[in-house]
Structure 1
């Protein structure tokens, strides 16, 4: 390593360290996480105190156009996400309704932690929703039979194909959600509109190759990309009027009736069909997993898991941008440190020798400047 290269690498390492520290300090997002965590604790407290018991005691069923009878939705109970809170703040949550639990703590540890607010512990609560699985074969019992087309090829597909995408799945069917309030016994009917179980639409692709491999679509003659999708899940969030006990579909939280931002707060979540693997003799088949993936779920709009997705969407619109540049800054700091250590390991002796030579030359020049007059005086 020459001296010029060593000084160049040293300057590059210093520049990387400075730029990395600037990116890390300017794109920190810890305060956003603390804000979401504090809000989630309030959501848990509100859920336990006002909504959990009444919502769990209600009854829900689904009525679909063309289907005799109704589909009963079964209640489900599961634990919420853990949130770390100070010991002083964890007490009211645990005593609000008896539903909140302290994970990984016992009586002795809780007494010790109550002595100081600096100690933190994890807090959870019980969440409730109503759900039914395998909705598609329940509403279309004729689709359970094995396909008659190309029996040999279907038999050797290892169960990956189920039934061709029939026109019945593309026909819109009206859905109505019927609720019976657990506290007042009032019955509410919520119109969900027309729902289709399979659809074909056009999506932007940017070329035939991207349409086929990235979008899993078919390149059309008019230079558009057509894709086939099937309905994999339905989720609707509802709100309750505490005065009357009536339920209604909530569209204010998130801007739509859906339960999360993953589906754009829309009612349905869709999965893409790959025509290269699911088409036999020109007919597109549904995968057998579609029978188990078609679910219908009802959640309360005050559910902490639903509200957390909403607050993340509102409070951190540039979270991905901050995380990206924060990670980039950490990488630049690491690279700068590695280059600096490399320069120190391989080029330090040569640089130090050059510095000693410079210092020696400067010292001799100074001694010559001052010592020359003394030598002249001695000669005289």
Structure 2
């Protein structure tokens, strides 16, 4: 018997590994080998999960009712709490039946695209974008149409740019504010304008709001789902990972029209069934619990945000706009390319990131992971001491202004 020439399906073989996870894994491998590596790669808060959430999980683990299968769409009380939170924070009135609890935010991204996108459909994706979006679009059979906004636009696309990218095959727009990887936050006016445009065009909007609680300088979070005209053609994605320092608990969700949530739930019944009940109980404690731990983390991120931008803008060839949300700085590093550093002359941000890792022992993510080359993403969700030391090493390697 002759085996087929292709052992792995073309569908799975065509997708790329998560660039942020790849950088983080490489940094951890080097650390494990004894190298003194500082990692700015993964978007993971360095804080422990708040104690009241951990206590809720411990209690849940001891309760036999959590040892069994539960509804695939999520625990009823968690779905109710998420519906109440979404109605309040996103100004999008929903009921518990319009909520699907997923195994982390990434599953919510895939489930929403799988439920909405058919082969041949196009999805507008503002760039720079989170590395998972185009791969999830591809898995759903769709095509990504990138719409790039550079630092001169504070990394925010305009209605005019989106309109120019629309074709007869356009099905949806992915909208992210606050943004990973740039930290950009769309103003209420910008958000409403894009929402109304999408509604007029008859497009679905998939909005990722996982960083909604992390904005700074008095900048408000505005959900595009609050645009009334979009009510029946918007899906909200979120989760507990970033706001509550719960990346390892794997609880996300999608919220939207009942028919879409029902379809995504059917997919989940075959894909994973219910999310781990202990994690769901922890998420319930997070969503309904005190806000003080969230605010303490946000204040720490705010301090680090100011520090990292100030230090990055000392580096020769770097220009870094001040992010207004999330916990990332997105560096315009084009001025540092095509110059010689210790015998190496990087011409792309991927080559520059490799040089910084090899020579300075600092892990950053190159712009190629998020769109065009020429940029670097650095997460400032790490300790102040490591932050200063890491940027100092980069400055020593590339020079000062």
Q: Which has the higher strand share?
A: 1
Same fold (TM over 0.5): no
Q: TM-score range with shorter-chain normalisation? A: under 0.3
TM-score (ref. length: structure 2): 0.21
- Which has the larger Rg? 1
